[in-house]
Amino acid sequence: MRRLYGICRRAPAFKVIIAALLAGLFSGLIGAMGLGGGAVLIIYLTLFTDTPQLEAQGINLLFFIPIAAAAVTVYAVKKQIKWKMTLKITLWGLIGVIIGMYFARILGGELTAKVFGGLLVIIGISEIFTKSEKRVAKRENGCYNKKE
């Protein structure tokens, strides 16, 4: 039995494979752009494959190691990475990971899934109703720059 949009039903193998391919493709594309493709993958894993939330998060982290490596290589070749700033952010990110793992363990899978869904809704609403000049980019000479 496969769970599709919250409804359990049998799905032909080819549909399951196509759904997995699309989830992987969209997660990789969005992740390579640095836009958080993990949300797509976690939604796919939890809704379509009945994977528990915490397990889906672990799969998501492993999935993005090669995706991130490829994206970093491309951005580094184009000299679009500020390495000093990246190091500082990464150190704080590691602290955030430790704190996040602690809270995920305390909250459990079900509540973690609800918190994750709530954050997605808040971020989505914010993106729809917030207009920021910093997010408006102009393509010029292969690089994105602030709007002039």
Q: For 32-90, what is each residue's pLDDT tens digit?
A: 676 777 788 888 888 888 888 888 888 888 888 888 888 889 989 999 999 999 999 99
Residue-level pLDDT at 76:
92
- Co-location of 118 and 145 in the same domain: yes
pLDDT digits (tens, 9 = 90+) for 116-147: 889 888 988 887 887 765 555 554 445 555 44
Question: What is the model's pTM?
Answer: 0.54
Range of the domain at 69: 1-78
Confidence at residue 38, expressed as pLDDT on a 0 to 100 scale: 79
**Among 58, 78, 98, residue at a domain's last position:** 78
- 94-123 burial, b at 16+ Cβ within 10 Å, e below that, comes to eeeeeeeeeebeeeebeebbeebeeeeeee
Q: Are residues 21 and 89 in the same domain?
A: no
What Rg, from alpha-carbon coordinates, does the chain have? 18
Judge if 22 and 74 occupy the same domain: yes
